[in-house]
Amino acid sequence: MKATIQYNSRKLQIDLAKPLDISIPIKAPNAVKAWYVQDPKIAPVVMDKWVGSVKEGASVNFNTITFNPHSHGTHTECVGHITEKNESINKSLKKFFVLAEVVTVAPEKKGSDFVISKKQVQFALGNKKRDAVIIRTIPNTTEKLSKEYSNTNPTYLLPEVAVYLREKGIKHLLVDLPSVDKEKDNGKLMSHKVFWNVDGKIRKHATITELVFVPNKVTDGEYFLDLQVAPIENDAAPSRPVLYQIID
């Protein structure tokens, strides 16, 4: 099922029958975890003697799900993540279908850290003009689907990367990391801050998506991105980024 899209001055074709889901689902147990919280919980509602489970005799399954969007799977966040004002991702993100570039980067060693530098991303993007960039780090194994990231000092972006992407006009940054910033940085959150330009004209419609998983079968290059975000009034919400390959 092919669709032709007029995108700015380009007319492009995509195959809607071949979506490439790059999200990590919220699940219990064996969920991906970060930020020192426990597993999400998915359990039937219990009211008096009634249990919301077909196995327990109910006519329906009626589960309550307890999770943290920043910790338990792919999520998309807005500037409200780091501001006193309660900005909502549900109100900030209004354009869901954008042109994106997938790039693969091997993190560089810097002291005791592994980082992504400006020169790496700049080399990968070159002169390409995109609305979104998706950074896949290597090694890229399925361990990322259920990894416990807490207290592991994961790879992060140097702030120079976020500045470069902002100046290049990237509106949506997606990474397969629990954060674009260092796990323990005394609350500086510099990559978040400079990407959203909190000390200038704040980019309220820009987003950061963390904990994606880009399978190895997805090659680097240009895609249409459908950034599907759960309609929750919060600074962040679970999301399901889906890629569509552009047909030559």
Distances (CA, A) of 204 to 81, 85, 98, 102: 11, 12, 17, 23
Residues above pLDDT 70, as percent of the chain: 100
100: in domain = yes
Per-residue confidence (pLDDT) for residue 41, from 0 to 100: 97
Instruction: Give tens-digit pLDDT for 189-218.
Output: 999 999 999 999 999 999 999 999 999 999
**How many domains are contained in the chain?**
1
172 residue type, one letter: H
What is the pLDDT averaged over residues 225-237?
98
Residue 226 has pLDDT above 90, yes or no: yes
For the chain, the first-to-last Cα distance in angstroms comes to 15
Instruction: Give tens-digit pLDDT for 27-55.
Output: 998 899 999 999 999 999 999 999 999 99
Q: How would residue 165 be classed by pLDDT, with cut points 50, 70 and 90?
A: very high
Structural domain including 171 reads 2-26+69-247
DSSP string, the chain: -EEEEEETTEEEEEETTS-EE------SSS--B-TT----EEEE-EETTEES-GGGT-SS--EEEE--TTTSS-EEE-GGGSSSS---HHHH----EEEEEEEEE-PEEETTEEEE-HHHHHHHHTT---SEEEEEESS--GGGGS-B-TTS---EE-HHHHHHHHHTT--EEEESSS-SS-SSSTT--HHHHHHHTTTSS--TT-EEEES----TTS-SEEEEEEEEE---SSSEEEEEEEEEEEE-
What is the pLDDT averaged over residues 174-201?
97
Residue 8 has pLDDT above 90, yes or no: no
Per-residue confidence (pLDDT) for residue 163, from 0 to 100: 98
Find out whether 172 and 132 touch, Cβ atoms under 8 Å: yes
36: in domain = no
Question: How far is 202 from 79, CA to CA, in rounded Å?
Answer: 8
55: in domain = no
Residue 154 has pLDDT above 90, yes or no: yes
Instruction: Give tens-digit pLDDT for 89-145.
Output: 999 999 999 999 999 999 999 999 999 999 999 999 999 999 999 999 999 999 999
Q: At what angle do helices 159-167 and 118-125 cross, to 10 degrees?
A: 30
Instruction: Give tens-digit pLDDT for 58-92.
Output: 999 999 999 999 999 999 999 999 999 999 999 99
Residue 248 has pLDDT above 80, yes or no: no
56: in domain = no
63: in domain = no
CATH number of the structural domain spanning residue 224? 3.50.30.50
53: in domain = no
